[in-house]
Amino acid sequence: MSKANPKANQCPVMHGSHTNPTRGTENHDWWPQQLNLDILRQHDVKSNPLGADFNYRQAVKSLDFKAVLGDLEKLMTDSQSWWPADYGHYGPFFVRMTWHAAGTYRTGDGRGGGGTGNQRFAPLNSWPDNGNLDKARRLLWPIKAKYGNKLSWADLLIMAGNVAITSMGGPNYGTALGREDIWHPEKDIYWGAEDTWLGDNRYGGSRQDLENPLAAVQMGLIYVNPEGPNGVPDPLLSAQDIRETFGRMAMNDEETFALTAGGHTFGKAHGNGPADAVGAEPEGAGIEAQGFGWASSHGSGKGVDTITSGIEGPWTNNPIKWDMGYLGLLFKYDWELTKSPAGAHIWHPIGIEESDMAPEVDGSGKKVMPMMTTADMALKMDPAYRAIGARFLKDPQAFGEAFARAWFKLLHRDLGPKSNYAGGDYVDEDFIWQDPIPQGKALDSGEVDAIKTAIADSGLSVAELVETAWASASSYRHSDKRGGANGARIRLAPQKGWAVNKPAQLAKVLNIYVDIADAHNASVADVIIIGGAAGIERASSAKVPVTTGRGDASQDQTDLDSFAVLEPRADGFRNYVEKEFAVSPEEMLLDKAQLLNLTPAEMTVLVGGLRALGISASGDGVWEDAPRLDNRWFKTLLDMEVEWKPEGFNHYQAYNRQSGKAVRQASRVDLVFGSNSELRALAEIYAQDDNGAKFVADFIVAWNKVMDADRFDLK
C-alpha cells in the first residue's frame, strides 16, 4: 500500500452493489419485521429500456405474424451443434419450454404464468424443473433480434411451443398476442418459504393442505415431482398431488389428463449420466458461462449424454409425432419400477415388443426402451384418470380436441379477456374461463347526469355508494387480469355472498341500481361506477369523471369455482380481515394493493380517503361522524395528543395524553401509516395544510385507476 495514499489499494466502488458476493448490512437485516413496500415498486418505468411511451399492444399489431411462424417452423429442424435437437427436431424441447413458461400460473393469487416473459429471470430461469431451458431461449434469440420490439419475449416463448406442436402434427388452437415483457425478476411472487431446492415445507396436516397460494408441490418444480411425492414412487399418492396441483392451476381432471398425455406424446426425459456431473444453474454459474447453466461433464454433455431431470427415456416410439403412442403404450403394458442412469425412479414396460421400442436421439438407429414416470403411472392407476384415458384411447379425435382446448387455456389463462388479445391466429371462441362480458352501451354526459340524479334521489348514503363501487371494482387482479367492475358480477354468485361485501347492504343497493339501470337503458355495471362517483362528489364537491360502456355478465357466463378464488380474505382498504392469519393485516394490504397495480402513494391516499368517507368493516379508523372527502384523516392520525395501546388482535385504542380519555379506535392497517417511516412520509404529505386540494385530486385519480382497471378496451 502506498504510504502517500493509504487508500490507494482499497476497493473503489461501494460494497453491497451485488456485483460482489459480499454486501453490507441492510435495513431488513436489522429490522426483519419491517414492512417492505418494494412489492409496490416492481416494474417501475426506470427499469424499462423501451421507455414509458412505448406501447407494446400497438407495436405487436404491426408484426408480420406469418413471417415469425415461418421462421419458427424452420428453426424446429435446424439442429445446432452446440445443442443438437433430439431426433433432429426441437419441437419437444420448445413444448416443454412453453409449458413451463405458462405452467407457473396459480389461481390462488393469479400470479405466475407466461404473460410477462418471467422465465428469463431468477428464480424461474434457475429452477431445477427448468433445467437446460436456457438453451431453448438462446435458440430463439435470432428470431427475437430479427423482429425486435414488435415481438416480446413473453409472446415468443408462447408462440414457439404452439409452432412446435403444429410442426409435429398436433392439434392447436393458435396463439393470441399481447404479452408485455418485464425487465427484472418478479420479487413480489411468493414461491414458497423453503431455502433448499425441492424442499416441501408447504403442507399442513395433509397432502391436500397445501399452503395458499402455492400450487407446485416442491420448491423449484412447476407441477408435481415426476418420481412421486418427495421422490417416493407411489402412483396413487402421485395422483393426489396431480389432482391438487392442477386444480390450483385451473384445470379439472379431463384437462389435467389431456395436458399430461398430450405433452408426453412428444420428446423424452434426460438422465443418461450421474446427477453429480451437472454444474450450477444459470444464476449460480460463473461469469464466463454468459448465462448458461447446468453444464455437464458427462461425455459430451449434450445429445445422448444430456442430464436434465435425471429421468431417462422417451414416452413413445415416435417422440416427434402427434399420435396415440403415449396412451397406447401406457395401457398396453404392465410396468415395472426401475431406475435411470442418474438414479431417478422410472418405469419400464414388461415384455415390450420390438415395434414399440423407441429410437435413440442421435439418429444412430439404435433402439432404446420407452419409459413412464410415477406421475404417468398415476394416470393409469387412479380410477378417475384411468376412465378418462380409456375414453380417449377409444376416441382419438376427442383426445386431440381436449388437449388443444386445455393447452390453449394453459397458455392464455393469465392474459385476461379476449379484449386483451392484440393479434395472432387464435380460434375465435368464447371460453368461460375468459370471463366473457356482453358489449355495453356508452353513455353520454346527459345520460350520466340523469343517473346521478336518480341515485341522489334514492336515499342511499355516501358510504353505501362508495363501498359498493369499491367492492365491485377492487375484485380486479392485475396478475391475471380477472375480476373488476365490468360485468357487474358483484350481483351474481359467488360474489354477492362474500362476507367482505356485506351481503344485506349490497342487496339493498343493487335492488335500487337494477331499477335505475332499467329506467335509463344502462348497465348495472356502469350504474355502480356512476354511484361511486356520485358519492365522492357529494362528499367533496369535486367533479369525478366516469367512463361508461360496461356490460352485465350473466350467471351462465360466470364459473362459480373459478370466481370463488377471488374472494378477499382481507381488504385493508375496507379494514376487513376474516381472521388472524400468519401474515399481518398490513402485509395483506400490500398484497391487495399490488394486485390492484397501485403505487405506495396511491395506496396511501385511497386508504385515507376511504376512511374519511366512512368505509371500515370493523368500524376502526372512522374518526368523524359525517363523511367528507378531505385530508382530516391524516391530520388526525398524526395527532400527537394521543397515545395508542393494543387491545386485542388488530384493534388499538387511542387515549388522550392529558385526560386519559379514550378518543378513537384503529386497526393495524390504520396505524401502519403513522408507524412505518416510508408510509408516514406519504401521510405527512397528505396531512399538510397546503395539500388539501392535492389530496382530493390524487384520491380521485387513484380511485378511477381502480374503477377502470379492467377496461382493457380503453387501453
Residue 715's pLDDT is 77
| Cα-based distances in Å from 91 to 136, 164, 463, 689 | 10, 4, 57, 64
How does strand 652-656 pair with strand 570-571? unpaired
Q: What are the φ and ψ backbone dihedral angles of 17, each rounded to 5 degrees? A: -80, -5
Mean pLDDT for the chain overall: 95
Would you state the cell numbers that stand for residue 357, as one nine-digit string?
421400442
For residue 44, the one-letter residue type is: D
User: Apex CA 272: angle with CA 271 and CA 273, to 5°?
Assistant: 95
**Lowest-confidence region among 180-189, 238-247, 269-278, 550-559:** 180-189
Q: How confident is the model at residue 10 (pLDDT cuts 50, 70, 90)?
A: low
Residue 100 catalytic? yes
Q: Which of 89, 100, 270, 298 is catalytic?
A: 100
Would you state the cell numbers that stand for residue 60, as one nine-digit string?
405487436
The CA distance from 628 to 650, in Å, is: 25
Proportion of the chain above pLDDT 90, given as a percent = 92
Element (H, E) at 238: helix 235-247
Residue 502's pLDDT is 98
Other beta carbons within 10 angstroms of residue 13's beta carbon come to 8
Judge whether 563 and 497 are in contact, CB under 8 Å.
no
The answer, yes or no, to whether residue 5 has pLDDT greater than 70, is no
Residue 187, CA atoms < 13 Å, CB-side half-sphere: 11
Q: What are the φ and ψ backbone dihedral angles of 664, each rounded to 5 degrees? A: -165, 165
The CA distance from 508 to 466, in Å, is: 14
Peptide bond into 226 cis (omega under 30): no
Other beta carbons within 10 angstroms of residue 696's beta carbon come to 22
How does strand 358-359 pair with strand 367-368? antiparallel
User: Where do runs of H (alpha helix) occur along 488-565?
Assistant: 503-519, 524-540, 560-564
In three-state secondary structure terms, 472 is helix
The CA distance from 65 to 467, in Å, is: 45
pTM: 0.95
pLDDT tens-digit readout, 617-643: 999 999 999 999 999 999 999 999 999
The CA distance from 600 to 691, in Å, is: 17
Q: Give the closest residue to 236 by CA, choosing from 375, 372, 335.
A: 375
| Cα-based distances in Å from 358 to 218, 335, 352, 355, 554 | 31, 16, 11, 8, 51
Contacts with 60 (C-beta within 8 Å, 6 or more apart), sequence order: 150, 151, 152, 155, 177, 178, 422, 423
In three-state secondary structure terms, 120 is helix
DSSP state of 485: S
Q: Give the closest residue to 704 by CA, choosing from 414, 417, 421, 484.
A: 484
| Cα-based distances in Å from 549 to 113, 161, 438 | 29, 36, 10
The CA distance from 57 to 154, in Å, is: 12
Instruction: Work out the burial of residue 445: count CB atoms within 10 Å of its CB; fewer than 13 is exposed, 13-18 middle, 19 or more buried.
Output: exposed
Q: How confident is the model at residue 44 (pLDDT cuts 50, 70, 90)?
A: confident
DSSP 639-672: -TTEEEEE-STT-EEEEETTT--EEEEE-HHHHH
Would you state the cell numbers that stand for residue 407, as one nine-digit string?
393447452
Would you state the cell numbers that stand for residue 123, as one nine-digit string?
428464480
The answer, yes or no, to whether residue 16 has pLDDT greater than 70, is no
What would you report as the CA-atom Rg of the chain, rounded to the nearest whole angstrom? 28
Judge whether 10 and 16 are in contact, CB under 8 Å.
no
DSSP state of 438: P
Q: How confident is the model at residue 28 (pLDDT cuts 50, 70, 90)?
A: confident
pLDDT tens-digit readout, 179-237: 999 999 998 899 999 999 999 999 998 888 999 999 999 999 999 999 999 999 999 99
Judge whether 92 and 268 are in contact, CB under 8 Å.
yes
Rounded to an integer, the average pLDDT of 85-104 is: 98
DSSP state of 601: H
Q: How confident is the model at residue 591 (pLDDT cuts 50, 70, 90)?
A: very high
Q: How confident is the model at residue 2 (pLDDT cuts 50, 70, 90)?
A: very low
Residue 11's pLDDT is 53
The answer, yes or no, to whether residue 22 has pLDDT greater than 60, is no
Other beta carbons within 10 angstroms of residue 659's beta carbon come to 9
The label of the residue with cell 371494482 reads 473
Judge whether 250 and 107 are in contact, CB under 8 Å.
yes
pLDDT tens-digit readout, 426-452: 999 999 999 999 999 999 999 999 999
Q: How confident is the model at residue 333 (pLDDT cuts 50, 70, 90)?
A: very high
The answer, yes or no, to whether residue 544 has pLDDT greater than 60, is yes
The CA distance from 380 to 235, in Å, is: 9
